[in-house]
Amino acid sequence: MTEAIKKSLRESPLARWTAMFVVSMSMFGAYYFNYAGSSIKPILETALGWTSSDIGTYTGSYGWFNVFFLMLIFSGLILDKLGIRVTGLGATILMAIGTALNYWAMTAMPAHMLDMHVTLPFVGTLPMQVFLSCLGFAIFGIGSEATGITLSKAIVKWFKGKELALAMGLQMSIARLGTALALAISLPLAIKFNYSTPILLAFILMLISLVAFIVYIVMDIKLDKSEANLEIEEEEPFRIKDIVSIVSNKAFWYIAILCVLFYGAVFPFLFFAPDFVINKYHVAPKLAGYIPALLPAGTILLTPFFGYIYDRKGKGATIMIIGAVMLLIVHSFLAVPFLNQWLFAAVMVVILGIAFSLVPSAMWPSVPKFIPEKKLGTAYAVIFYIQNIGLVVIPTILGVVLTMSNPTVSPNKMLIKSSIEQSFNKTLATHQINYNKKDLKIAIDKATGRVVDSIVQNTFYTPTPEKDINKTALQSSIVASNMNAAGNFNLKDGSRASLLALAKVFTRSTYPIIKKEKLNITYNYENDILIFVLLGILSVIFGFLLKAEDKKKGYGLELPNIEKTAE
C-alpha cells in the first residue's frame, strides 16, 4: 500500500503546488476584469455619460444569469456530473466571450444604436450601450463563478488531508493580484490612453486564463492516470436529491449567509472605492486606485498565512468572527464625515484587508467539514449563488442610493462636457478646420475630465443650491469664456495634438467659472457607507451563530485541517 501511495501524483509536493498555481492563473484575469470596469467610473461618466445608477447596474449585472437563470446551480451540477476538466474549460471560454462583448459594446457599437434603450424587469430602462456592456459582464459572470467553484473542487482534489487551507489561501492570493492590478492601474490607464484600454487588457488576460486552464487539464489527466491502480473509495453517484441534504444543513446556511454579507461589504466597496477615495479624500484620480489596492495586495500574503494557521491550529469559526468584527469597525470609521484624510483611509483599507484575509481563509476550507466531497461542487455552487444574489442587489442599491443622494452631480458633469463640446465645435467651425471625430471626442473627454478632477481634488466649497444656479446662463458663460481664450490660441490644424492643446486652453478657462459658481460635482458617499456598516453588523451575528452550531454538532471547524498520521 505504501508503494502504491507513492505513485499518486498528488503525493508529490512539486506536482500539487504546480497544479495549484496553474489553475489559479485562470482566476487572475477574472479578478482583474471584475474590477476594471467599475474602477474607471469617473471616466465612464464623462466619456460615455453613464450615471452612478448605470454603473451600479453594470456592476450588479455580473450575477444576472447566475441568479435569475440559476446558472450557478447548473454549473455546480455540471461540475459534479462532468468533472473539473469539462466544466473549467467551458467556463474559461465563456469568460473570454463575455469580455469580448463588453469591449465591443464600449468601443465599437454602431452610432445608430447609441440612442436606443432597453427596458428590463426589476432593472428599468437602460441605454443600449449600458445594456450590452451589462450583457457581456453577465456572460463573463457565468464563466467566472463556474471557474471559482471548479477551482475550489480542484484544490480539494489535490490537497485533501494536506495543506488545504494554505492552498486555498494561495489560490485566492493569486486571484487577488488581479484585483490589486485592476484597482491600481485601470484608472491611470484610462486617463493616459483611453477609457477602453483597461477592458482591452482584460480580454488579453482572459485568453491567458484559457491557456492556463488547458495546461491544468493536462496535469489533471496525469493525476488520474497516476491513481488508476490505487484502492480509492468509490463515491456514490450524485443525485438531485442531494441538494436537499445540503440546504437542510443549518451550518451550511450560516456560512452561506455570512459569505453574502461579508463579501457584500467588501466586493461592492472595492467597486466604488476609487471614486469614493477621490470624492471624500480628494486624492488625485491617477493615484486613487492605489489606496483600495492595498486591500487585495495585503491579502496576498495574509490569506495563506491565516490558512496555514487554520491547517495546523484550527479555530476556523473564531477566525471568521474576528474578521467580521474588523469589517464592522472599518466601515463604521469610514462613515465618519470629518475623518477625511487620505492616510486615514489607507490605514482603514489595510485593516479591511486583514479582515478580508481572515474570513475567506477559514470559510472555504470549512465547507468540506460538513459537506461530503461528492456534493462539494453543488454546495460551493449554492453558496456562490447566494453570494451572487448579494453581488447583484447590493451594487445596484448602492448605485441608486448614490444617485438619489447626489441627484445633481451627474447632470452637472454633463453640463460641463456639453459646454466644452460647444466650445470646440464653434472654434473649429470659425477656423474652418477639418478634424477626425475620434480625436475630437478624446480632446473633449480630456478637457472635461481635467476640469472635474481639478474641482473634486483641489477645490473645497459648499455647493450653491441648485435652484440658485441658472444653468443656461452658466453654459453660455463657459462657452463665451472658452471662445475668448481660443481667440488667443493659434489653432493651425485639426490634428490630435492641436485638439489636445486646445483642450488644455478650455480646461484653464472653464475651471475658474465652475469654481466661482460652486457647481456641485462631488459625490457624498455617506449613505452608501452606512449600508456597509449594516452588513458588518449582520456578519458578526451570523459568525457567532455558525460557531454555536459547530459547537452543537461537532463539525470540527475549530479543529486543524491537517490529518495527523499514525507513526
Q: Residue 518's closest CA among 455, 567, 449?
A: 455
CA angle 159, 565, 150 (to 5 degrees): 15
**Mean pLDDT in residue range 257-262:** 94
Can you give the pLDDT at residue 239? 60
Query: Residue 125 carries which DSSP code?
Result: E
Q: Which residues contact 383 (CB under 8 A, 6 or more apart)?
A: 252, 255, 256, 259, 367
> Which position has the higher pLDDT, 276 or 308?
276
Can you give the pLDDT at residue 230? 60
Per-residue pLDDT band at 258 (split at 50, 70, 90): very high
**pLDDT tens string 291-312:** 998 888 777 778 778 878 888 8
Can you give the pLDDT at residue 440? 93
Question: What is the enclosing helix (H) or strand (E) of 358?
Answer: helix 342-366
Predicted confidence (pLDDT) at residue 240 exceeds the cutoff of 80:
no
What backbone phi and psi angles, to 5 degrees, belong to 550? -65, -40
Predicted confidence (pLDDT) at residue 567 exceeds the cutoff of 60:
no
**pLDDT tens string 348-384:** 999 999 998 888 888 878 888 888 877 776 787 788 7
**Mean pLDDT in residue range 151-161:** 83
Across 147-151, 232-236, 299-303, 413-417, the highest mean pLDDT is recorded for 413-417
Can you give the pLDDT at residue 356? 87
Q: Which residues contact 133 (CB under 8 A, 6 or more apart)?
A: 37, 58, 102, 105, 106
Q: Mean pLDDT across the chain, nearest whole number?
A: 88
What backbone phi and psi angles, to 5 degrees, belong to 390? -65, -40
**pLDDT tens string 457-489:** 887 888 999 899 999 999 999 999 999 999 888
User: Would you put residue 200 in left (φ > 0), alpha (ψ -120 to 50) or beta?
Assistant: alpha
Q: Residue 270's closest CA among 343, 194, 330?
A: 330
Please, are residues 358 and 320 in contact by the beta-carbon 8 Å criterion? yes
Predicted confidence (pLDDT) at residue 157 exceeds the cutoff of 70:
yes
AA identity, residue 402 = L
Of the chain, the percentage scoring pLDDT greater than 90 comes to: 49
Instruction: Tell me how far apart the alpha carbons of residues 162 and 533 are, in angstroms, rounded to a whole number.
Output: 37
Residue spans of the domains in the chain: they are 23-224+249-406+524-553, 409-517
Q: Does domain 23-224+249-406+524-553 have CATH number 1.20.1250.20?
A: yes
Of the chain, the percentage scoring pLDDT greater than 70 comes to: 95
Instruction: Please give the model's pTM, rounded to 2 decimal places.
Output: 0.82
If you write DSSP's letter for every residue of 171-225 in order, what string do you get?
HHHHHHHHHHHHHHHHHHHHHHT-TTHHHHHHHHHHHHHHHHHHHHHHHHHHHHH
Instruction: Tell me how far apart the alpha carbons of residues 560 and 566 are, in angstroms, rounded to a whole number.
Output: 16
Bridge partners (DSSP) of residue 127 are 117
Bridge partners (DSSP) of residue 120 are 124
Give the torsion through C-alpha atoms of 248, 251, 252, 254, to 10 deg: 110
Predicted confidence (pLDDT) at residue 3 exceeds the cutoff of 50:
no
Predicted confidence (pLDDT) at residue 565 exceeds the cutoff of 50:
no
CA 347 to chain CA centroid, Å, is: 21
Question: Comparing 119-133, 172-186, 328-342, 553-567, which segment has the lowest mean pLDDT?
Answer: 553-567
Q: Where are the alpha helices (DSSP H) in 431-565?
A: 437-458, 471-487, 496-517, 526-553
Can you give the pLDDT at residue 2? 43
Can you give the pLDDT at residue 303? 75
Instruction: Tell me how far apart the alpha carbons of residues 80 and 153 are, in angstroms, rounded to a whole number.
Output: 9
**Mean pLDDT in residue range 160-166:** 77
